[in-house]
Amino acid sequence: MPELPEVEIVKQSLSKKIERKKIKKIIITNRNLRFKIPLKFEELLKNKIIKKVTRFSKYLILNFSDGSFCLIHLGMSGTIHLIKKNNLNNFTNTSFYNSSCLPKKHNHVEIHFEGLKVIYNDPRRFGFFKFIESKEALIERFNHLGPEPFFKNFDLKYLLKYFLNKKKDIKSFLLDQKFVSGIGNIYASEILFLCKINPTIAAMKLSKEDCKNIILFSKKVLNRAIKKGGSSIRDFRDTHGKSGNFQKEFKAYQRENLNCVRSKCTGKIKKIFICNRSTFFCNTCQK
């Protein structure tokens, strides 16, 4: 699943191409995504002008000039493709998941602009599109989610209060979007490695220093991943044929049985499963 850095890369790509453009038409070939796209969806979006493209957590948000919004979630396998009129660019994918070029199958939604169209492809159909009528409705839609690591309220006071008497392991908390929004499996392993925290430890046992490190390295890891263009863990490319490079800097994720990268550590990276997700950690320095 695309995590916060990969969705941020999609947002940046779309911002450059579709902001201030008017939607000419919408073509839907399959309404049966995670939530069925309503029959009136095409009419709701037609002639809307995109004021801005923003992101919250793993959600893309098309901000329309009339104060309404379109929420887009990529699910497990969704990708956004940009197709320019009379442009033979082979690389269409704005993110780094699945095909770098527009696939022939599973293209479910097309958003047409003047000289450009955006295509949503999703083989597993876990993503969704949702029209939101107002700012108040958008805020309410996200009420169940925790703050992003970049938000000011993701601070020591918040963590200490949230973790009080909590026996659940810290890795599960980092994946819990009700606690913090946007961190997924890849970056959770990287954050905990840099914090020298064992992923199985109960949250209630973390010290203040541990919590400070979680806040610090959550920001650092995600910012670094965004700067490096996300993580291409298969053969992923952006619209210029450039792959994300953060995977070259993995300290723990997918490094099972390799030596720990810390110079004075003699440990090895081990792989376990937490909440049915692969978890990587050093068996020596992450105690």
Residues carrying an active site annotation: 2-3, 58, 277
- Angle between helix 185-195 and 208-227 (nearest 10): 130
Which CA distances in Å does 287 have to 75, 183, 248, 264, 283? 34, 22, 25, 15, 7
Neighbouring C-beta atoms of residue 20, cutoff 10 Å: 9
Rounded distance, CA 106 to CA 193, Å? 37
* DSSP 8-state symbol, 103: -
3-state secondary structure string, 2-60? Answer: CCHHHHHHHHHHHHHHHCCCECCEEEECCCCCCCCCCCCHHHHHCCCEEEEEEEECCEE
Rounded distance, CA 265 to CA 249, Å? 18
> Taking a C-beta distance cutoff of 8 angstroms, is the pair 145, 180 a contact?
no
